[in-house]
Structure 1
């Protein structure tokens, strides 16, 4: 054999003067090969440094034991933890993961999905990007007979397995907390309304205001303020109003809440005494800012575990009539310094 060439079953067969099919059966522990021959083949395989191609073997058996994951941003704590939760559960069953990042680009998301389809993965797990609302590429996954699981950001019109958060209730509790802490003019930094999670969070905000008989003020709702930079830009506009807000709910992420904090600090506005700030997602930095940021924990690792376990539960399900399962996880409000107006956190 040439140096660097991968050893194959044909190399083993040639050395022993037997058929490649006999080598294959022995390596797969078939009872069609006697024990003495098996031992000889295994010994020769070791001598030749033979490495089994697990992927090819699994494909021949009709599955790849590979799950593809598509997320908007790998470097966000929430998505990184979901991936970790999936890996934690799938590793135990010998599955591999292929991780793709859409970068919030619809076109790139389509490319990622098509690549995974061509890789013959058993399942595609996806949280959709904010850019676009055409999901034909996800329908293609279903049409190829590949299990599709959506999490967090989902295309509601597609009947697939879904793992989501109760975004509306979480937002309701966050805004209720702000009101009960004495804040009266509560602004909302909202995300793209083509995504259901951001619509639900806005609904929770509006429901809380109604429950406490507080008027909805349109100028206190800032559209598409869902990054740190856009959060900061929206905050500057809000704090420049003749009647600025005394609290801001950054319903999109802790990154936009960080933008709020930076602007408040630059304008010498005291948080939480003069301005309450609440974020969303419990990013790692939210606990170490000054003040620490009140936020909403989405139990991301648990969500990843749930996604993986849902796949394994449904893998052998042949019921094509029932509506696919949707599992909803209840987030938790974490109260910290940025809303501790009464001295408690």
Structure 2
């Protein structure tokens, strides 16, 4: 196996019998180098197949042209699509991504932040883990003058650029749809209330009940049911009640809704006739389950593009006195067979 030595500025300097600093200046298009000398150095660099180390060059300029992205789980359709949107919009402007996942662990999230700081990224984009209640690691990003953008799951009291879904409105629409289909005992699978998105979704659920004159029934609201397994466990409890719900809104995720559907099938509850099911996030599998699952699309690719464009716009912004912008994106209720009790 042959290993060909990479050409350096010292090789060019040696061939032309000039100082390496002059070569470096010429390759950086410095006005301190005479035009004739610059042309000669560029011609020699091309002959020797010299490749500029863009990473080192960018770091010397104080930028890496790199955006770090931290998500709870890469294998969820929502987060994968957000990443795709960020990549599509930022790549056209010469930026690359470094992607990390916290696996819903606060400790891993802190490690990811530290890794990205050490990589000298220009921007960190983060959606918080379910365990995150302390935000010192986010403050350390700001202390180092690295751009910080929070999306979806955010620390509301940390002043940064934020891109959110209107979770309150989406939940109100979902629960209102269930009520309009004739469901009256609607259960809620809720997520950890330390996260803004799950608080807003619960508020939307409660407001929809209130707006339609339905009572709030505490035993129908189960906390921290945000995975398939936890969704299934919660559903077994709910369907074993003396008066079980006639609909379940899995406000946490479509994975929780999948757990609901599995248990409903096991316990011989007919969906949607005896039990309506609504999820959240529009994961790909919700179209192909039997029945297909009503859910909420969060426009995740568009969210990713919005994040990237916010960062690129911020690079041009010289007014630091203005409060960081928050962008709210309106999700869309996707009605499918799992909630069509009256057939339409």
What TM-score does the superposition give when structure 1 sets the normalisation length? 0.95
Q: Aligned with 1:285: secondary structure?
A: helix
Counterpart of 2:87 in structure 1 is 87
Q: Distance in 1 between matches of 2:338 and 2:27?
A: 62
Q: Distance in 1 between matches of 2:16 and 2:38?
A: 12
- Report the alpha carbon displacement of residue 315 of structure 1 after superposing the two structures with TM: 1.7
Q: Distance in 2 between matches of 1:97 and 1:70?
A: 10
| Matched ranges for 1:1-345 at <5 A | 3-33=3-33, 37-344=37-344
- Report the alpha carbon displacement of residue 52 of structure 1 after superposing the two structures with TM: 1.5
What TM-score does the superposition give when structure 2 sets the normalisation length? 0.96
Corresponding pairs, count = 343
Name stretches of at least 5 consecutive residues in structure 2 with no aligned partner.
none
Q: Distance in 2 between matches of 1:40 and 1:268?
A: 82
Q: Aligned with 1:242: secondary structure?
A: coil
Q: Aligned with 1:187: secondary structure?
A: strand
After superposition, what is the alpha-carbon deviation per residue over 1:45-84, rounded to whole angstroms, capped at 9, x for unaligned?
A: 3443322111111121121111111110011110111111
Moved more, 3-12 or 252-261: 3-12
Q: Distance in 2 between matches of 1:289 and 1:315?
A: 44
Q: Distance in 1 between matches of 2:14 and 2:259?
A: 67
Q: Distance in 1 between matches of 2:290 and 2:39?
A: 66
After superposition, what is the alpha-carbon deviation per residue over 1:244-295, rounded to whole angstroms, capped at 9, x for unaligned?
A: 1110000000000011111111112111111100000011111111111100
After superposition, what is the alpha-carbon deviation per residue over 1:88-126, rounded to whole angstroms, capped at 9, x for unaligned?
A: 111111011111111110001001101111111111110
After superposition, what is the alpha-carbon deviation per residue over 1:152-175, rounded to whole angstroms, capped at 9, x for unaligned?
A: 000001011100010000000000
Q: Aligned with 1:315: secondary structure?
A: helix
Q: Distance in 2 between matches of 1:36 and 1:134?
A: 59
Q: Distance in 1 between matches of 2:26 and 2:323?
A: 44
Q: Distance in 2 between matches of 1:109 and 1:54?
A: 28
Q: Distance in 2 between matches of 1:321 and 1:70?
A: 27
- Report the alpha carbon displacement of residue 33 of structure 1 after superposing the two structures with TM: 4.4
Q: Distance in 2 between matches of 1:281 and 1:60?
A: 42
Q: Distance in 2 between matches of 1:17 and 1:51?
A: 20
Q: Aligned with 2:301: secondary structure?
A: helix
RMSD, matched Cα: 1.6
Q: Distance in 2 between matches of 1:4 and 1:185?
A: 72
Q: Aligned with 1:41: secondary structure?
A: helix
Moved more, 31-40 or 56-65: 31-40
Moved more, 136-145 or 17-26: 17-26
Name stretches of at least 5 consecutive residues in structure 1 with no aligned partner.
none
Q: Distance in 2 between matches of 1:135 and 1:4?
A: 48
Q: Distance in 2 between matches of 1:240 and 1:5?
A: 71
